[in-house]
């Protein structure tokens, strides 16, 4: 399988990396995280208007750059390197995937608004007791005239405090764990009947618990059979999250190598210690395997459902394991300094820890992989 980037993809990587290097230093990122509202509308507009990055994964006919999953992977890895908190994953990856399942006019309208930077999505799918089960949906959607109204509660909705719209999973039919009867709705953040409890997350982002009480929503795709599109969108999100994890681990390893070269003990850099060298080699090997599995998962997104699911589940199970090992090793090799807020490595470790469990832990995806292999 060819893992080389095209000249256009290499240029995209360079553009994103240069932009983030200029605008997302560790100090700039920390000032942004501590600010109110905790993100930068200016940076989001720059991603859309100055660089056109929000259109990297969309078709030319919709105003995009003609890319797809690989372009999303490239952007997400660079976001991981910089610890960027902008909702690219929720807006362009998940939102873009779900819009491919809707009628042409609706897709064209919302895709154009994404590319222009006019909208920011948050993905509201987790519920109390649902864990990682996408089929466990108790939020209800009922017809109201020509539209729909939603009632229910969603937990830990990342990026909700600065989203313009929420992508909400809701049940139109069936029981709380039925595959059939799950649909996705687009809900304005200021819609009547919507209330939020905002809070910061451990990795520097923001999230909210969101309650819907007769809240109007716009249906995306099928009424009772939207689960297939939802599952595909989440698989794309998981592949993008793996790419972000790779970017985070690259920075953790690079900072650790640099620190061990500078930190001296007994008149020699601690990097000369063979035991520490072996640990850093192990970190490197885990990272490189995570890169390969992320690439394979990304290139498998267009394959049939079972093949796609196996590749994504295997990648996420491994990336979760690698993120834990690389993150914990980086903290250990930095010693007590690694736990301080003043050092970037502690913040990369926090994000690695969140990535480990976001959209499913290693155990969850290992079980999914086993189930898909059994029913292949």
> Each residue of 252-305: pLDDT tens digit?
999 999 999 988 888 888 888 999 999 999 999 999 999 999 999 999 999 999
Residue 48: the pLDDT is: 95
List the structure tokens of 192. Answer: 């009547």
**Domains detected in the chain:** 7-119 (1.10.540.10), 122-225 (2.40.110.10), 228-374 (1.20.140.10)
Residue 139: the pLDDT is: 97
Residue 263: the pLDDT is: 86
Residue 80: the pLDDT is: 98
pLDDT along the chain (376 residues), means of 10: 82 96 93 90 93 92 90 98 96 96 93 96 95 94 95 97 97 92 97 97 96 97 90 98 98 96 86 93 98 97 96 98 97 89 95 97 95 80
């Amino acid at each position: 399988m060819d893992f080389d980037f095209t000249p256009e993809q290499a240029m995209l990587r360079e553009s994103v990396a240069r932009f983030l290097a200029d605008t997302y230093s560790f100090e700039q990122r920390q000032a942004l995280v501590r600010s109110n509202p905790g993100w930068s509308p200016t940076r989001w507009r720059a991603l859309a208007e100055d660089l056109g990055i929000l259109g990297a994964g969309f078709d030319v006919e919709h105003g995009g750059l003609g890319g797809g999953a690989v372009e999303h992977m490239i952007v997400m890895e660079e976001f991981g390197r910089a610890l960027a908190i902008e909702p690219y994953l929720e807006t362009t990856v998940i939102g873009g995937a779900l819009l491919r399942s809707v009628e042409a006019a609706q897709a064209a309208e919302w895709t154009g608004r994404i590319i222009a930077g006019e909208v920011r999505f948050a993905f509201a799918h987790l519920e109390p007791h649902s864990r990682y089960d996408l089929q466990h949906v108790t939020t209800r959607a009922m017809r109201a005239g020509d539209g729909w109204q939603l009632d229910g509660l969603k937990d830990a909705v990342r990026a909700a405090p600065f989203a313009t719209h929420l992508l909400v999973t809701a049940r139109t039919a069936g029981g709380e764990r039925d595959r059939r009867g799950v649909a996705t709705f687009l809900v304005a953040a200021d819609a009547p009947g919507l209330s939020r409890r905002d809070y910061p997350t451990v990795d520097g982002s923001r999230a909210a618990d969101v309650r819907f009480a007769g809240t109007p929503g716009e249906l995306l795709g099928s009424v009772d059979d939207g689960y297939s599109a939802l599952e595909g969108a989440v698989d794309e999100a998981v592949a993008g999250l793996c790419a972000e994890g790779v970017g985070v681990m690259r920075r953790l390893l690079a900072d650790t190598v640099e620190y061990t070269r500078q930190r001296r003990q007994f008149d020699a850099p601690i990097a000369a210690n063979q035991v520490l060298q072996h640990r850093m080699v192990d970190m490197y090997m885990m990272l490189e395997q995570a890169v390969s599995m992320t690439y394979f998962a990304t290139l498998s997104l267009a394959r049939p459902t079972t093949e796609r699911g196996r590749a994504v589940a295997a990648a996420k199970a491994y990336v979760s394991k690698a993120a834990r090992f690389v993150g914990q090793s980086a903290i250990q090799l930095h010693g007590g300094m690694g736990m301080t807020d003043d050092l970037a490595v502690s913040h990369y470790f926090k994000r690695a820890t969140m990535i480990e469990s976001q959209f499913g832990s290693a155990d969850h995806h290992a079980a999914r992989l086993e189930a898909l292999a059994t029913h292949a």
